[in-house]
């Protein structure tokens, strides 16, 4: 397997948060490692170095007109969902007109790397297990959406019945540069996707809940992610199978790997 192997075909936009996510959440309530909820989330609004000049930078996802009123209500709920129990940050989000100090977009210069000559996302400091790194942002849209049907950056969001996804192909943030771990780290991914809810300022300055998709250092990863290391996710079996590459190119996805469907892309902006 390798991220340099271009997919033989593109997948249709199918929001499909796997049932395994709910099972994993229930498992976490019984003592398994969980993410570390910070007391406050800071959203950084300045594009970082190496950001493509042709791409709009989004500190938070842009809501597409395709969203229905009921979908809007899922993204900004009046009350929090109860099953599964959500991750919640009670303090209102803080916005900072600076770049995210935890990460950097870096060209891949190692010829053995599957994404050689493209880009990856690396840490600028040590990040402990469970740390919130950043959110995944893009065009938050209803599915299916014709303009996203050929996207390799479309990420299923919220429940299976929500029919919502976040597409980072034409707009987004640093998270769109995160590579899959196959061919890079035999130990597996060092980061995961996990949704959470946080308070933001709505109309008239009133605080409202907002659902977000976060990228977190993998819970239970004792070594964390060291300074200067590449952040790596699992794109999931669905992503690779949709591209005719089985469980992940030439490397099979481990049986216990939480396969979250098709996420992100191996085709990076050069």
Confidence of residue 93 (pLDDT cuts 50, 70, 90): very high
**What pLDDT is stored for residue 145 in this prediction?**
66
**What pLDDT is stored for residue 146 in this prediction?**
62
Per-residue pLDDT reduced to its tens digit, 228-246 = 999 999 988 777 777 776 6
Task: In whole angstroms, give the CA distance from residue 194 to residue 219.
Answer: 11
**What pLDDT is stored for residue 1 in this prediction?**
29
For residues 199-207, average pLDDT: 83
Q: Which domains does the chain have, with CATH numbers?
A: 19-241 (2.170.270.10)
- Give pTM, 2 decimals: 0.80
Confidence of residue 149 (pLDDT cuts 50, 70, 90): low
Among 189, 148, 192, 190, smallest CA distance to 170 is for: 148
Q: Is the pLDDT of residue 262 over 70?
A: no
Average pLDDT of the chain to the nearest whole number? 79
Reduced 3-state DSSP string for the chain: CCCCCCCCCCCCCCCCCCHHHHHHHHHHCCCCCCCCCCCCCEEECCCCCCCCCCCCECCCCEECCCCCHHHHHHHCCCCCCCCCCCCEEEEECEEECCCCCCEEEEECCCCCCCCCCCEEEEECCCECCCCEEEECCCEEEECCCHHHCCCCCEEEECCHHHCEEEECCCCECHHHHCEECCCCCCCCCCEEEEEEEEEEECHHHCEEEEEEEEEEECCCCCCCECCCCECEECCCHHHHHCCCCCCCCCCCCCCCCCCCCCCCCCCCCC
Q: Is the pLDDT of residue 40 over 80?
A: yes
């Amino acid at each position: 397997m390798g991220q340099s192997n271009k997919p033989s075909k593109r997948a249709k936009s199918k929001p499909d948060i796997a049932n395994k996510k709910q099972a994993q959440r229930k498992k976490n309530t019984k003592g398994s490692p969980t993410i570390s909820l910070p007391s406050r989330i800071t959203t950084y609004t300045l594009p970082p170095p190496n950001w493509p000049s042709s791409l709009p930078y989004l500190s938070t996802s842009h809501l597409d007109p395709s969203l229905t009123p009921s979908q809007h209500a899922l993204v900004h709920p009046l009350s929090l969902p109860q099953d599964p129990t959500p991750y919640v940050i009670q303090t209102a989000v803080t916005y900072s007109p600076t770049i995210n100090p935890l990460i950097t977009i870096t060209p891949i210069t190692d010829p053995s790397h599957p994404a050689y000559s493209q880009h990856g996302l690396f840490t600028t400091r040590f990040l402990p297990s469970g740390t919130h790194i950043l959110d995944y942002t893009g065009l938050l849209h209803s599915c299916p959406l014709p303009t996203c049907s050929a996207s390799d950056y479309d990420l299923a969001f919220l429940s299976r019945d929500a029919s919502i996804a976040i597409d980072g192909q034409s707009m987004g943030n640093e998270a769109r540069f995160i590579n899959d771990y196959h061919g890079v780290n035999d130990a597996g991914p060092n980061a995961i996707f996990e949704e959470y809810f946080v308070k933001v300022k709505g109309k008239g300055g009133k605080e409202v809940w907002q659902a977000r998709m976060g990228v977190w250092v993998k819970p239970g990863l004792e070594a964390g992610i060291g300074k200067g290391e590449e952040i790596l996710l699992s794109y999931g079996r669905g992503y690779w199978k949709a591209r005719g590459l089985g469980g992940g190119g030439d490397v099979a996805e481990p049986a216990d790997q939480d396969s979250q469907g098709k996420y992100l892309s191996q085709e990076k902006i050069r």
